[in-house]
Structure 1
């Protein structure tokens, strides 16, 4: 009986976590831990769903012992994104976007009125509190 088989003749299946800790000298295992940590933080931050996936590829090693295989891995993380703000724009007659409504009348004759005496022009604060006679 070989070390690969249990007493009842069934093959002993090695725990996946054991393989993961050894593959790539533990690099894949460590990267998955970091990726999961990043994913959890982003899910909490955005309130949206994300995902993490590991793909293991196995292929025979060409021109080698039939027991030898090449094992590769790929880690993919899909982080949820924050909503980006939208803005309302108008489409002008030429088909370009513009902020102002092209059908709105313009008020070219409007002008800014200066603040009255005793009022700070920057803050609008009343600086002269003397009563007018």
Structure 2
């Protein structure tokens, strides 16, 4: 029995095995980055020659389901014009001063 890997290497001068190898590498990196599962599917369709005989036409399809990073939620505030801001535009901003530095004296009188 001939190994399937030999057929994959011969299909279109190795394009199927090259593509599968590339997708596997991308999958491994994405799984490492997201800590989520993914998969690769290699589908081989075999069609017989019209009228029978030993000739077969192959179609190989390599599909991958790469896990994606999910961005965490973020809080924004809207203004009257429909714009979004990181701080609430309706809230007055607090001003702070450095308590370790001397402050100007108010005039006595």
From 30, 33, 53, the counterpart of 1:45: 33
Q: CA deviation at 1:16?
A: 1.3
The alignment of Structure 1 onto Structure 2 pairs a total of residues equal to: 91
Which of structures 1 and 2 has the bigger CA Rg?
1
Aligned counterpart, 1:77: 64
Give the TM-score taking structure 1 as reference length.
Answer: 0.57
Deviations 1:76-119 (A, max 9, x none): 1001122243478xxxxxxxxxxxxxxxxxxxxx8848x7xxxx
Give the TM-score taking structure 2 as reference length.
Answer: 0.68
Structure 1 stretches of 4+ moved >4 Å: none
Aligned counterpart, 1:29: 17
Structure 2 unmatched runs, 5+: 76-89
Aligned counterpart, 1:14: 2
Q: Select the structure with the greater relative contact order (CA < 8 A; seq sep ≥ 6).
A: 2
Aligned-residue CA RMSD (Å):
2.9
* Structure number with higher helix proportion: 2
